[in-house]
């Protein structure tokens, strides 16, 4: 199955191994996929927060527990709550995957765009983070915490090298003016691309400059790092690599490309 980001009916689901923190959804064409591949679990993003799949302290010292607690229980919780309000106000069926709404976000209100994006982005963010590995900063592929297999091969094909990808992603994160996100996404041709979006926009949205399926995202809003890093966003961006869960990213890559 080849993912076509222009077709929300194919894009809205992640077919991946079960991971705590992702909401299970069984709808539309993906249900037939599940019947064809009963060993796989079809998941999409719901309209409520899923439990954080690790403790607030799990990402220390790179992302501190207080930041994680406020980020998850206050900021992200507010996006989820406001999203449900917007859905109620605009008659949106919350049984559908959120990805489906985001794919036609231009038809909805700014409240839906900001909070739908905010909720989706944070759910993705929590899912691709994990406890720092013993190996520390993955300055080169092959270190304990680095992409491997098909994902590593795709990174090399798309960017020339893993290090070139890291450099491009860091530049996107560090130069995003104001609040926003840096992304690694799979575009319509199956190529990996780095982009950044303002506020709570993301590449799934029909209004995005660069569209595709995000598989890695970095929150560069000040609420994500200010308590620990203050104005030193570049230090936060560099530390991010120490807590990336590459297995989770690889699962999202596989779901987007198979």
Q: Applying CB under 5 A, which residues contact Fe ion?
A: 219, 221, 224
Question: Any bridge partners for residue 219, and if so which?
Answer: 181
Nearest to Fe ion of 133, 179 (CB atom) = 179
Nearest to Fe ion of 13, 120 (CB atom) = 120
Please, are residues 5 and 187 in contact by the beta-carbon 8 Å criterion?
yes
Nearest to Fe ion of 26, 77 (CB atom) = 77
> What is the rounded end-to-end Cα distance, in angstroms, of the chain?
5
Nearest distance from C-beta of residue 200 to Fe ion, angstroms: 8
Nearest distance from C-beta of residue 180 to Fe ion, angstroms: 10
Nearest distance from C-beta of residue 115 to Fe ion, angstroms: 12
Q: Residue 129 has what DSSP assignment?
A: B
Query: What backbone phi and psi angles, to 5 degrees, belong to 129?
Result: -105, 160
**Quick one: tokens of 87?**
């859905």
Cβ-closest position to Fe ion: 219
Nearest distance from C-beta of residue 12 to Fe ion, angstroms: 22
Nearest to Fe ion of 162, 221 (CB atom) = 221
Instruction: Say whether 145 sits in a helix, a strand or coil.
Output: coil
Nearest to Fe ion of 136, 198 (CB atom) = 198
Nearest to Fe ion of 219, 251 (CB atom) = 219
Nearest distance from C-beta of residue 147 to Fe ion, angstroms: 24
What is the 3-class SS of 16-85, one letter each residue?
Answer: ECCCCCCCECCCHHHHHHHHHCCCCEEECCCCCCCCCCCCCCCCCCCCCHHHHHHHHHHHHHHHHHHHHH
Instruction: Say whether 181 sits in a helix, a strand or coil.
Output: strand
Torsion of CA 177, 158, 144, 224, to 10 degrees: 20
C-beta atoms surrounding 198 within 10 Å: 12
Nearest to Fe ion of 10, 233 (CB atom) = 233
Nearest distance from C-beta of residue 70 to Fe ion, angstroms: 10
Nearest distance from C-beta of residue 20 to Fe ion, angstroms: 20
Burial of 75 (0-12, 13-18, 19+ CB in 10 A): middle
C-beta atoms surrounding 175 within 10 Å: 11
């Amino acid at each position: 199955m080849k993912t076509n980001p222009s077709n929300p009916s194919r894009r809205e689901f992640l077919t991946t191994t079960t991971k705590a923190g992702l909401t299970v959804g069984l709808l539309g064409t993906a249900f037939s996929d599940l019947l064809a591949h009963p060993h796989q679990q079809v998941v999409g993003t719901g309209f409520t927060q899923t439990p954080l799949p690790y403790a607030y302290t799990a990402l220390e010292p790179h992302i501190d527990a207080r930041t994680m607690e406020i980020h998850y229980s206050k900021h992200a919780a507010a996006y989820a709550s406001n999203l449900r309000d917007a859905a109620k106000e605009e008659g949106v069926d919350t049984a559908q995957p959120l990805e489906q709404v985001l794919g036609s976000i231009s038809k909805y209100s700014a409240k839906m765009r900001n909070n739908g994006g905010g909720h989706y982005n944070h759910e993705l963010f929590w899912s691709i983070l994990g406890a720092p590995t013993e190996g520390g900063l993955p300055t080169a592929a092959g270190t304990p915490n680095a992409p491997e297999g098909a994902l590593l091969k795709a990174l090399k094909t798309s960017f020339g090298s893993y290090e070139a990808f890291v450099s491009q992603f860091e530049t996107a994160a560090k130069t995003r003016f104001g609040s926003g996100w840096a992304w690694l996404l799979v575009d319509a041709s199956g190529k990996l691309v780095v982009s950044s979006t303002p506020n709570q926009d993301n590449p799934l949205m029909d209004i995005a400059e660069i569209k595709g399926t995000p598989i890695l995202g970095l929150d560069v809003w000040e609420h994500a790092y200010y308590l620990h890093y203050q104005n030193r966003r570049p230090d936060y961006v560099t530390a991010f690599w120490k807590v990336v869960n590459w297995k989770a990213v690889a699962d999202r890559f596989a779901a987007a490309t198979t």
